[in-house]
Chains A and B, each alone.
Chain A
Amino acid sequence: MSGRLRSLRTAGLLAALAAVMTGPTGDADHPLAGIRGSLAFPRVLFFAAAALVLWAALLGRDRLRAQARTLRGTALGRLAGPAGAGAGNGNGNGNGAGAATRPGATWLSGRRGAVLGHAALLAVALAVPPVLPTAAQQALVSEIGIYALLALGLNVVVGYAGLLDLGYIAFFAIGAYTTAYLTSADAMPWHAPWQLNPFFVLPIALLVAAVAGVVLGGPTLRLRGDYLAIVTLGFGEIVQLLANNADGVTGGPRGVFGLPPLSVELPGVRYSWGLDPLPYYYLLIALIVLVMVVFGRWERSRTGRAWTAIRQDEVAAEATGVATMRMKLLAFAVGASVSGFAGVVVATKQFFNPQSFGLQASLLVLTIVIFGGMGSRLGVVLGALVLQGTAFLLRDTVPPADRFIYFGAVVVLMMIFRPEGLLPPRAHRPRGSGPSRDRSVESVESVDSDGAAGTSRGVADQASPGVVS
């Protein structure tokens, strides 16, 4: 009963919140005007109705969960016997066990399914943009594509290694300013003696950003998580402050423009990325796919497991021989380098100034990672698409300044209701043979009574009888 009331309260609160967020704007002379307007007569009815619908949905969800729990409990209890026996019959040379790890794999649930799914998404991503209006293409590049790339990088830091980096955008700035330094003689007061093709800057910016990541991480990664967050936050602020104040070097608040566009000049092939957003879009797609492939490989490798281990218990990881400091630095440097990478693309495409690299940009990337699913590559890319896409579609309804109200709300709501994000990483999805994490207590016990008996025999058999003193 109290559970229902609690659900009602939650629903009411969320509806009221939505009403205020979407309501009219107030100002300092009429501080309550916004709220009063938000809860004015015709509107409030709509949101009250929304609250009731939400309440019903919450109740329905609870009921479904309860049913699923009882169902799973009985099913597991029945399955556990034969499954355990099957494993026991393996010949134990390891090959059998390896094969047994994926017994329930159906056509679409295995690796093949994942590859096909990714390919389909890629096909859509390649085919759809040309038919979109230019404004949407522009948004696909500078609001979605770039942020997807950034989110992939931050995902390594936050999602894999569990380190909260709030100054992430600083590496983006470093990449952008490095590009300006190396490619143009007049965009910034300070420039290199020779100018490079922006494509050659890509690896350089990647390295510079990675080094910056190591320099920042070296002393600070020893700190506890929340201290690290605040130190990186300060780092982001300082980079922005320096970019702003060092007029003689960066051009200060005026910003940087007029960098040469990306271009390919090979014998036989000459191409330059111009003002049209589409070529940039395809370049970004290529970079995103590249980064996703590399990180996917890492995710399943020793490196990925070491990161997960650190995230889940750093002390145990260290005691198990994981060089935690080095792995954390690696995560930091990798994240930073992706950010620097993205910086090159942005720098060659559009004007930027220190304001582009504020705290809110860092928080936006974080929001995308949280929303998409920490640790999930496809999740954060979709997160960028959904969040930034929605922001683009609603650009005439919601003023840009108000966007962060929604982003903030998204972060809190995700943390409360769906911490694993839109598309959880593989490890969180239910497995073929093992139970999912949230299975009920009853089922554990039913399975255990079975398994423990088997194991106690297995171990006892290994003792040689003569050694008993």
Chain B
Amino acid sequence: MGSAEQISQLAVDGLMVGALYAVIALGYTLVYGVLQLINFAHSEVFMLGAFGGLFACRALVPGDGATPAGLAAAGLVLVGLVAGAAAGGAAAYTLERCAYRPLRRRGAPRLAYLISAIGASLFAFNLAGKEFGRQSVPVPDLFANRTVVTVLGAEISTQSLVIAATALLMLLAVDHLVADTRLGLSIRAVAQDAECAGLMGVDVQRVIVVTFVLGGLLAGAGGFLYAMTFNASYTMGFVPGIKAFTAAVLGGIGNVRGAVLGGLLLGLVESFGGYLFDASYKNVIAFTVLVGVLLVRPSGLLGTRLGRPA
């Protein structure tokens, strides 16, 4: 095993990626909460968000290749986040409208939703490949890649700090929204018993749409953050999608705080596991975690009720 610095570096890297997984995982968990369905196309919402943020940023960054300074960089991150979130939200809305709602109106069996979502996913990422090209596209450098803080020997760059801080803020915001607001209350009501919530005057249809869009906003913004480090490409959604799903299951699908916990844990496991074995087996590690959790404790670490206090 490596030195103490190495360990803390792995931990920091793991937590950073884990925070992103958590952000995406929230989308799975929220939708699962209200529909009891895994939204297989969520990974494409994430991908479209990444492209949205990326293109907005590109349009604003001066073409001379110079790194923008201070406030301008912060502004660009914000623009990217907002554009990413908007693209993600729009994609999620379209998805709900086109691939889910017609089936709900018909009262289709569960299998139909899964298949429809898979079709939507296939459609969306291949269309993105056609429209945006099939190469990996970098987000323009917004920061000089410089270490700003050193924690227990781990070096943290400005970019990592921005990503982690933003992700954390979003997680806190969603937790607050679900736990303490009126909207959150209706989401939880639909999650627990949609029929009953409907009778109590909750507009179930609206809550479902709002939940999808909320998950889309998060995934879109998360996609932009992810692309800042790992670039954007039309197939970028798949792997983080599976991992975020794993995170959601690990924490207890349908459980907001569980998704956060699951994301961070998975990030750590993957980071250390990738170091111990081989980086190319990171995906296998995440997948093993998924299968293990599903077989041993399918309700996850914190149980599966949306909004239930941890």
Contact = CB atoms under 8 A, between A and B. Distances in A.
B120 interface: yes
Given A35-B131, A241-B284, A407-B122, A412 B290 contact: no
A256 B121 CA distance: 31
B196 to A, nearest CB: 22
A205 B238 CA distance: 30
B118 A26 contact: no
B137 A28 contact: yes
Given A31-B55, A31-B131, A230 B290 contact: yes
B290 A408 contact: no
A419 B112 contact: yes
Contacts of B294: 220, 223, 227, 231
Interface stretch (A73-81, A140-148, A363-371): A363-371
B119 A234 contact: no
**Most B Cβ at <10 Å: residue of A27, A164, A226:** A226
B199 interface: no
A229 B116 CA distance: 13
Given A26-B131, A26-B132, A225-B114, A230 B242 contact: yes
A28 B283 contact: no
Interface stretch (B6-14, B98-106, B141-149): B98-106
A3 to B, nearest CB: 12
B42 to A, nearest CB: 12
B69 interface: no
Interface residues of A, number: 51
Contacts of B133: 26-29
Interface string B105-146: 010101110111011111110110111111101000000000
Contacts of A29: 133
B: contact size bracket: 35 or more
Contacts of B106: 419
Interface in A395-419: 401-402, 404-405, 407-412, 414-416, 419
A230 B296 CA distance: 16
Given A26-B131, A31-B132, A238 B298 contact: no
Given A245-B280, A419-B112, A411 B122 contact: yes
Contact residues of A: prevailing secondary structure? helix
Given A405-B126, A412-B99, A166 B118 contact: yes
A370 B131 CA distance: 27
Contact of A415 (B108, B110, B126, B295): B108
Interface in A13-36: 13, 20-21, 25-29, 31, 34-35
B111 A412 contact: no
B119 A408 contact: yes
B37 interface: yes
A432 to B, nearest CB: 26
B212 interface: no
Interface in B165-222: none
Contact of B111 (A162, A222, A367, A409): A162
A408 B121 contact: yes
Contacts of A360: 122
A233 interface: yes
Contacts of A408: 119-124, 126-127
A247 interface: no
B224 interface: no
B51 interface: yes
B154 interface: no
A408 B116 CA distance: 9
B62 to A, nearest CB: 16
**Most B Cβ at <10 Å: residue of A220, A223, A234:** A234
B130 A411 contact: no
B116 A241 contact: no
A164 B40 CA distance: 12
A73 to B, nearest CB: 21
21 contacts: A27-B133, A220-B295, A223-B294, A223-B298, A227-B38, A227-B298, A229-B38, A230-B290, A231-B294, A233-B242, A234-B290, A234-B291, A237-B287, A238-B284, A360-B122, A366-B115, A402-B130, A408-B120, A408-B124, A411-B115, A412-B123
Given A227-B249, A404-B123, 20 more contacts: A13-B98, A26-B133, A28-B132, A28-B133, A166-B118, A220-B291, A222-B295, A226-B38, A226-B40, A230-B40, A230-B290, A234-B290, A238-B284, A402-B126, A402-B130, A409-B119, A410-B119, A412-B98, A412-B116, A415-B119
Interface of A: 13, 20-21, 25-29, 31, 34-35, 158, 162, 164, 166, 219-220, 222-223, 225-227, 229-231, 233-234, 237-238, 241, 245, 359-360, 363, 366-367, 370, 401-402, 404-405, 407-412, 414-416, 419
Interface of B: 37-38, 40, 51, 55, 98-99, 102-103, 106, 108, 110-112, 114-116, 118-124, 126-127, 129-135, 137, 238, 242, 245, 249, 280, 283-284, 287, 290-291, 294-295, 298
The 4 closest A-B pairs by CB, nearest first: A411-B119, A408-B123, A408-B122, A27-B133
